[in-house]
Amino acid sequence: MNPTVKAFSVGFIYPLGTKNFQNFSQLFLKQREMFITRATKVILFISAVHCFSLWAGEPKSADAARHGIALAYNMQLDEAERIFNGLIARNPDDPQGYVLKSVVYYYRYLFDQSTTEIEKQFIKLAKTGIDRAHKRLAKDQNNIEALFYAGTAHIYLAALHGEQGNWLQAFWNGKKGIQYLNRTVEIDSTYYDAYFGLGVYHNYADVMPKLVKTASRLIGVEGDRRQGLYELKLAAEKGIYARAEAAYFLGKIYAYMEKDHQKAFECFRFLSTLYPKNAGFLLDLGESLRRNGKLDEARDIFVAALQIAGEDEFPIFVKLAHYRLGNVFYEKNEYEKAIKRFRDALEYKAMAANAVEKIDADASLKIAKCHERLNQQKKTQSSPDK
């Protein structure tokens, strides 16, 4: 059976506190003194993000699942949800449709926490998917798709509970999820798409602070950075549907851990070419250019991302695009333009958990620095020649 992977990286592209890989690469490498409760969220999110890699299941549903996945990659979540509703209607006993749809709601929850209805719908779908998977496993304990979907749903529930501080539930679901996913690979080692999730976890778990590593061992998973990179590359090279998602995380690792911004650029260019309506991929592409010192090219990419983000249902992309444009102008010493972009970022409201706090704090600081440097320039210009 061909594995179809749901690799919906809305993320992941902008900082969502501990939920963002840019942010938590920085947390891992620069803030190793973080508290265990905050760090535990990272463990859970690492496990969760990888699981938007979901197999299509039966051949009749494969094309529809692939179509829904492509729509989700391009940020057309309503259209993707309609496709997954169709999968559920055609085969209500299959966990696939429920879990695919639940992931859409999980990311909607991350982007918009202004209502509890999204969270409730996510939990209902995830638990329904687990129930359908368990019924199949009761008939065949080696049903590889049932194992995978059960593991995926548990991991996402773990991420939600971790975000909310329900640590007992978070660890329990996390442990169950990892067990199911490891069993999936044990049954068929040639399911190359499945190595994507394992690679993400093994890589990031290995670079966690000491306290977080201890916490990860509690759910029975050890980190191994070298193994994680191998697994990610394996998925990127031999996976059928996980290539894009593997390329995304490799890009993140190259950018924020390996500091190889050229390789990061190549990964994000590949992704933004495949999915031109995903503002997040463009934002990462622009950031890789900025870190390579190509400020004018980065500026153009961020402007393009801003135009796409304006059509998107997630306002955080608009906020981040303004913020990153501000960073470009700041580095170009164009402080008036930088101030305008940072103010735009501050004024643009977005219900996206910790993302707003991080962006607003840094934008405010940069505005102050811009004014300070403008004042210095004025003093220099007005002072008599010596």
Would you say residue 196 has pLDDT above 80? no
In terms of domains, do 264 and 165 share one? no
| DSSP-assigned letters across all residues of 57-74 | -SHHHHHHHHHHHHHHHT
Region 159-171 average pLDDT: 77
Q: Is residue 255, in this structure, part of any structural domain at all? A: no
- Identify whether 84 is part of a domain: yes
- Region 228-232: mean pLDDT is 86
Lookup: tokens for 93: 């006993």
Q: Are residues 238 and 272 in the same domain?
A: no
Give the end of a domain, one of 246, 270, 291: 246
**Residue 239 and residue 264 share a domain:** no
Q: Rounded to whole angstroms, how far apart are CA atoms 213 and 37?
A: 13
Task: Mark whether 9 and 146 lie in a shared domain.
Answer: yes
Task: For residues 108 and 102, give the distance between their C-alpha atoms in angstroms, rounded to a whole number.
Answer: 10
Nearest to 72 by CA among 6, 149, 4: 6
Contact 148, 55 (CB under 8 A): yes
Residues 90 and 217 in one domain: yes
Q: Is 55 in a helix, a strand, or coil? A: coil
Domain count, the chain: 2
Do 200 and 268 belong together in one domain? no
What's the full length of the chain, in residues?
386
Query: Is the domain of 217 the same as that of 300?
Result: no
Note whether 43 and 184 are same-domain residues: yes
Co-location of 268 and 370 in the same domain: yes
Domain interval for residue 108: 1-246
- Per residue in 355-369, pLDDT (tens digit) is 677 889 999 999 999
* 157 part of a folded domain: yes
Identify the residue with better confidence: 325 or 204. 325
Q: Where among 246, 268, 296 does a domain terminate?
A: 246
> Using CA atoms, how far apart are residues 239 and 303, in angstroms rounded to an integer?
33
Average pLDDT over residues 117-127: 95
What Å distances lie between residue 84 and 46, 81, 96, 245, 323, CA to CA? 24, 5, 9, 20, 34
Residue 159 sits in a domain of what CATH number?
Answer: 1.25.40
pTM of the predicted structure, to 2 decimals = 0.75
Distance CA 268, CA 259 (A): 14
Of 184, 219, 246, the domain-final residue = 246
Higher pLDDT, 115 or 271: 271
Q: Report which residue type is found at 174.
A: G
Instruction: Answer yes or no: do 291 and 318 share one domain.
Output: yes
Residue with tokens 């993400």: 200
Q: Which of 164, 89, 102, 167 is nearest to 129 (CA)?
A: 102
Same domain flag for 292 and 231: no
Are residues 271 and 337 both part of a single domain?
yes
Q: Is the pLDDT of residue 254 over 80?
A: yes
Amino acid at 313: E
Weakest mean pLDDT among 127-131, 234-238, 370-374: 234-238
Task: Please indicate, yes or no, if residue 384 is contained in any of the structural domains.
Answer: no
- Looking at residue 51, its pLDDT comes to 46
Residue 251 counted as domain residue: no
Contact 145, 96 (CB under 8 A): yes
